[in-house]
Amino acid sequence: MVYCTCSLELEEGAGRIEALLEGGAPVSRQTIDPDEIGAEPDWITRAGDLRTLPCHFAEYDGVDGFFCARLIKRAAFA
């Protein structure tokens, strides 16, 4: 599952993912490799999410920031 938002507000991006994980949702974060998506390494956060800033695209004046996290559903135990 991919969660993404075009917001730079932490509570709408990384904060939502942290709350989801801390709340016990049956998912885990899967780190995004910059090479697999053609991204610059500094666009990947320490947690392994993608976060771009307007300064990353200076040539496109006015581009918003972006946040993306990849989550994997954990297997249910019987």
**CA-angle at 32, arms to 56 and 58, nearest 5°:** 5
**Tens digit of pLDDT for each residue in 3-26?**
999 998 999 999 999 999 999 999
d(CA 50, CA 21): 17
Q: What is the pLDDT of residue 32?
A: 97
28-76 pLDDT, tens digit per residue, is: 999 999 999 999 999 999 999 999 988 888 777 767 889 999 999 987 6
Which pLDDT value is given to residue 16? 96
CATH assignment of 2-73? 3.40.50.150
Q: Is the dihedral of CA 7, 30, 18, 44 positive or negative?
A: negative
Residue 78 predicted with pLDDT over 60: no
